[in-house]
Amino acid sequence: MGAWIALLLLMIAGLALLLRADAGSIAGFDPSDFAVIVAGVALAIFIGSSLAGSYRGRTGQAVRDLLTWVLMVFVLVGGYSYREELFGFGHRVIGELLPPGTALRGDAQVEGERSVTIRRRSDGHFLVKTETNGITLTMLVDTGASTVVLKPADAQRLGIDLDRLRYTVPVQTANGTTFAASVRLRNLSIGRISLNDVDALVAKPGTLRENLLGMSFLSRLRSYEFTSDYLTLRSG
């Protein structure tokens, strides 16, 4: 019986498409929209009648399966509706599990924006893993440093010849004034954010405990913001 009803509805849908050239409407719908609705109802009746036949004599099982499918649909629709919140929650959970300094993908505020989120270290500082000239280096985020500053050993890892450097740039440290050498980094990347030709300094041996991620990198970003235990970097 269900199959015959479905066939009748499909015939009605076909008739609605034939009437599409007319300017009128059917039950308040455009003829093409009406045809799509009727065809959908016909398909639902055909599938429903087939399932009803397979569940004959097993009403309880049919009800349980129907409720399961309804619940799955609600979960999928709800998950899609709150996908941005779920993604943000997932990133926070991953951020707590991974070591501090791991760059996680952040939420973009504008189309085409690249952003990363970094969790604060237990001592209150933000330490971030970078790819500098293709080499992995850890840097301490320091908004008070005018440039990126490298330890001599790490500068050497990048292929910089320390013997050819001239330490002529004065740098203020906690122990007073020292001098550093000016260099330029081919590339510096943090997660999805990548900048080319970044100005940097190489500190004299024994004057720097951590590489510093200073303003020669940070000032070229779209923005950077500190929120609770997280630092978010954004680049266009």
CATH assignment of the domain containing 162:
2.40.70.10
Judgement on whether residues 139 and 68 belong to the same structural domain of the protein: no
* Residue 94 covered by a domain: no
Q: Which residue has the tokens 């500053």?
A: 149
The answer to whether 192 touches 114, Cβ cutoff 8 Å, is yes
Q: Which of 81, 116, 142 is the last residue of a domain?
A: 81
* Residue 91 covered by a domain: no
Strand partners, 81: none
Max CA distance (Å), the chain: 93
Judgement on whether residues 125 and 33 belong to the same structural domain of the protein: no
Tens place of pLDDT per residue across the chain (236 aa): 544 555 565 566 555 555 554 545 556 666 566 666 666 666 666 566 666 666 566 667 666 766 775 676 667 666 656 655 555 555 555 555 555 556 666 565 566 678 888 888 878 889 999 999 999 999 999 998 999 999 999 999 999 999 999 999 988 766 678 899 999 999 999 988 999 999 999 999 888 889 999 999 999 999 999 887 888 999 87
* Residue 163 covered by a domain: yes
* Residue 95 covered by a domain: no
Name the token pair of 189.
Answer: 């990347």
C-alpha distances (whole Å) from 122 to each of 62, 228, 229 are 55, 13, 10
Quote the pLDDT of residue 104: 62
Quote the pLDDT of residue 58: 67
Structural domain including 134 reads 100-235
Quote the pLDDT of residue 21: 47
